[in-house]
Amino acid sequence: MTGGASVAASPAGTRRFSALSVGGVMGWLALLILLLAAASLQIGYVGFPALDVIGAAFGVGDAKLVTIVQELRLPRTLLALLIGAAMGMSGAVLQGLLRNPLAEPQVLGITSAAGLGAVIAIYFGLARLFPYALPLCAMAGAGIVTGTLYAIVSRGSSGLTLILAGVAISGLCISLQSLAMNLSPNPWAVNEMIFWLLGSVKDRNFTDIALAGPFIGGGCSVLLLAGRALDALSLGEDAAQNLGFDLVRVRIMAIVGTSLAVGASVAVAGGISFIGLVVPHLLRPFIGHMPSRLLLPSALAGAALLLAADIFIRWFDVGTELQLGVVTSLLGAPFFLYLIFKMQGRFQ
Amino acid sequence: MTRLQAQDLTVDIAKTRILSNVSTEFVSGQLTGLIGPNGAGKSTLIRTLCNLLKPISGSVHLDGKAVSSYRRKDLARRLSYLPQGHIMHWPLEVERLVALGRLPHLGPMQSAGPDDQAVIDKVMARTEVEALRRRTADTLSGGERARVMLARALASETEVLLVDEPVASLDPYHQLHVMELLKGLARDGRLVVCVLHDLSLAARFCDHLILMRDGGLLAQGPTEEVLSEDNLNHAFSVRPLRGQHEEQSFVLPWARMPAHTNPHS
């Protein structure tokens, strides 16, 4: 919302849940994550007693079971949590930075750009030359697009322009991905690209976590530091600067943090979208709109949501296992449409 | 005594000259009104005073030190700026919104303590927005919103307060209310500068006026002198109506000047 349109006073102006503390919400989310993680570890080709599985995750019990749980089930669960957290927090930061409730890595084309970076790494065989090529290319793609979007916003463009720019950038990245597949002489590489772009945390191992984890952790730490400045930005850029914040520094932090977190996520799990859009909206009724208060809860809620989606696709058997990215898009895209309708008339 | 000085300010925005060679001075204890027609450079001057715009020549000094050489947080603790339009991008709770004014006084990871809360309560009482404490910003009326934003600026507890069009689009009751608040702050010893379009409010409430036109100063000084017939004709191309009521003088823009004498055309 902007300052221009004033809304008539209503006596029911307070929100019912805003009394809930951030700590309280985070406690509930942590509990939810534990329950989901325990459930996620149960799912596999062979069924074991539930408590044995949980013990095995901590290295207790039958050696074979420990191997199955720690090598196969635990990485998938942890990766879903990590990526969900990265996406949730990136979404919350981008919405705060751009002051637009529709901002999100996927909507703005950042996920597609990271995907394009990764496709380029696969296409030119860089990924085989050195293991960090793929995540680095993905992060570079994400960084370039986030920087471009900020340049568009800082020229005073409206929220609508920003979203349209995201659509255009997303379209360009997807067509360049298609071009790479089109030109690829090797059908096996095409298959690799497509499967990878659909997005999944299936059959991942601790190498993937070791690859993405530090970047996601680093990215989220950088994003957390921007929280205060995002609060000040609620009052507009001039007021934020007058409150003592260096906007250039804030933009760089948000761009670097988002690129690291989203780029690393896309690098190991492919295109997983809309978590960052949905999560802050789910939390606002409980903890209000202050951007800094949303950051950590968004990371936790993103982790919970993505893990829940991953549990759902393993439980919901349609013969072929659904890809995680496909399911989050199926849930997220209608939500995006719903938000657009809800916000009609807000963009000038 | 706080002193804010502008020396020979020349400011370009997108290669267009907006201010040329503006020199003026503000001191604590006074409410200075910045008046002039649209496009005169009032907002540009005020944004340059708070170091949001860099002049291509000239300088702004706060107590003898260039505003551009202050550390960001230090300047934020001494000078607060309330932009026009009362921008709020999120429907924040009123109390949290006012608390944003405490940010210059907090460390990077430090949260507001009891001292900060005392300041927040004090400024909310002063601007009469305590009853709105738990309301969200999107439910406020224009007058409520203006006072909440003023409370946010006051929460920084700065000696200097620069306000851009605080009464624009408010009804008469709320215009008077905001002007009384600003006047009271100046009486408490603060340095208050306020952009205004309403000449009668300027005449009644301001101690000093700065009259701008085409990026320069047409007149500055005590309110009575600046609102002279000549100045108003020249700056606004209007003929004023003057009067006295309750031992205060007022000025109303009464009629446009005939086209051939209109310096605007």
Asked if B136 is an interface residue toward chain A (Cβ–Cβ < 8 A), one would say yes
Residues from chain B that touch A345, judged by Cβ atoms under 8 A, are none
Task: Indicate the range of A10-24, A72-86, B11-25, B102-116 predicted with least confidence.
Answer: A10-24
Q: How far apart are CA B177 and CA B143, in angstroms?
A: 9
Asked if A248 is an interface residue toward chain B (Cβ–Cβ < 8 A), one would say no
Does residue A347 have a pLDDT over 50?
no
Residues from chain A that touch B79, judged by Cβ atoms under 8 A, are 242
Asked if B142 is an interface residue toward chain A (Cβ–Cβ < 8 A), one would say yes
In a domain, A212, yes or no: yes
A5: confidence class by pLDDT, cuts 50, 70, 90: very low
In a domain, A135, yes or no: yes
In a domain, A248, yes or no: yes
Tell me the shortest Cα–Cα distance from A241 to chain B, in angstroms: 7
Determine whether the interchain pair A6/B141 forms a contact, defined as Cβ–Cβ distance below 8 Å: yes
Does residue B263 have a pLDDT over 80?
no
Determine whether the interchain pair A242/B76 forms a contact, defined as Cβ–Cβ distance below 8 Å: yes
Does residue A62 have a pLDDT over 90?
no
Determine whether the interchain pair A13/B136 forms a contact, defined as Cβ–Cβ distance below 8 Å: yes
If one counts the domains in chain A, the total is 1
For chain B, domains (ranges, CATH) are: 3-92+157-261 (3.40.50.300)
Give the A window 264-303 contacts with B, CB below 8 Å.
288-291
Q: How far apart are CA A304 and CA B264, in angstroms?
A: 64
Asked if A7 is an interface residue toward chain B (Cβ–Cβ < 8 A), one would say yes
What average pLDDT does chain A have?
Answer: 85
Does residue A110 have a pLDDT over 50?
yes
B124: confidence class by pLDDT, cuts 50, 70, 90: very high
Q: At what angle do helices A22-42 and A275-287 cross, to 10 degrees?
A: 140
Looking at residue A74, which CATH number applies to its domain? 1.10.3470.10
Q: How far apart are CA B207 and CA B31, in angstroms?
A: 5
Residues from chain A that touch B96, judged by Cβ atoms under 8 A, are 288, 290
Q: How far is CA A52 from CA A60, A68, A100, A313, in A?
A: 8, 12, 46, 23
Q: How many CA atoms lie within 13 A of B133 on its CB side?
A: 10
The average pLDDT across A249-267 equals 88
Does residue B265 have a pLDDT over 60?
no
Determine whether the interchain pair A9/B80 forms a contact, defined as Cβ–Cβ distance below 8 Å: no
In a domain, A6, yes or no: no
In a domain, A305, yes or no: yes
The residue of B62, B100, B111 whose CB has the most chain A CBs within 10 angstroms, and thus the best one to mutate to test that interface, is B100
Determine whether the interchain pair B93/A288 forms a contact, defined as Cβ–Cβ distance below 8 Å: yes
Asked if B68 is an interface residue toward chain A (Cβ–Cβ < 8 A), one would say no
Tell me the shortest Cα–Cα distance from B145 to chain A, in angstroms: 8
Rounded percentage of chain A residues whose pLDDT exceeds 70? 92
| pLDDT, position A11 | 39
| pLDDT, position A348 | 38
The average pLDDT across B105-131 equals 90
In a domain, A15, yes or no: no
The average pLDDT across B12-32 equals 94
Determine whether the interchain pair B72/A234 forms a contact, defined as Cβ–Cβ distance below 8 Å: no
CB B132 within 8 A of CB B98: no
| pLDDT, position A243 | 95
Q: What are phi and psi of A295, to 5 degrees?
A: -65, -60
Name the residue among A95, A94, A101, A93 with its Cα closest to residue A225.
Answer: A93
Name the residue among B185, B263, B226, B238 with its Cα closest to residue B24.
Answer: B226
Rounded percentage of chain B residues whose pLDDT exceeds 90? 75
What average pLDDT does chain B have?
Answer: 92
- Quickly tell me which residue has 């759902």 as its tokens: A312
In a domain, A264, yes or no: yes
Residues from chain A that touch B52, judged by Cβ atoms under 8 A, are 238, 241-242
CB A265 within 8 A of CB A216: yes
| pLDDT, position B117 | 94
Determine whether the interchain pair A6/B83 forms a contact, defined as Cβ–Cβ distance below 8 Å: no
Task: Indicate the range of A77-86, A261-270, B188-197 predicted with least confidence.
Answer: A261-270
The average pLDDT across A60-69 equals 87
CB B13 within 8 A of CB B47: no
Highest-scoring range by mean pLDDT, A193-202, A311-320, B63-72: B63-72
Does residue A52 have a pLDDT over 90?
no
Range of the domain at A217: 22-41+48-342
DSSP chain B: --EEEEEEEEEEETTEEEEEEEEEEEETT-EEEEE-STTSSHHHHHHHHTTSS--SEEEEEETTEEGGGS-HHHHHHHEEEE-TT---SS--BHHHHHHGGGGGGS-TTPPP-HHHHHHHHHHHHHTT-GGGTTSBGGG--HHHHHHHHHHHHHTT--SEEEESSTTTT--HHHHHHHHHHHHHHHHTT-EEEEE---HHHHHHH-SEEEEEETTEEEEEEEHHHHT-HHHHHHHH-EEEEEEEETTEEEEEEEEEPPGGG-TT-
Determine whether the interchain pair B90/A291 forms a contact, defined as Cβ–Cβ distance below 8 Å: yes
Asked if B54 is an interface residue toward chain A (Cβ–Cβ < 8 A), one would say no
Q: Name the residue among A13, A233, A239 with its Cβ closest to that of B135.
A: A13
In a domain, A52, yes or no: yes
Q: How far apart are CA A344 and CA A346, in angstroms?
A: 6
A187: confidence class by pLDDT, cuts 50, 70, 90: confident
| pLDDT, position A13 | 40
| pLDDT, position A201 | 86
Q: Name the residue among A18, A99, A241 with its Cβ closest to that of B89.
A: A99
Asked if B100 is an interface residue toward chain A (Cβ–Cβ < 8 A), one would say yes
Tell me the shortest Cα–Cα distance from A19 to chain B, in angstroms: 10
Q: How far apart are CA B224 and CA B206, in angstroms?
A: 10
Does residue A157 have a pLDDT over 70?
no
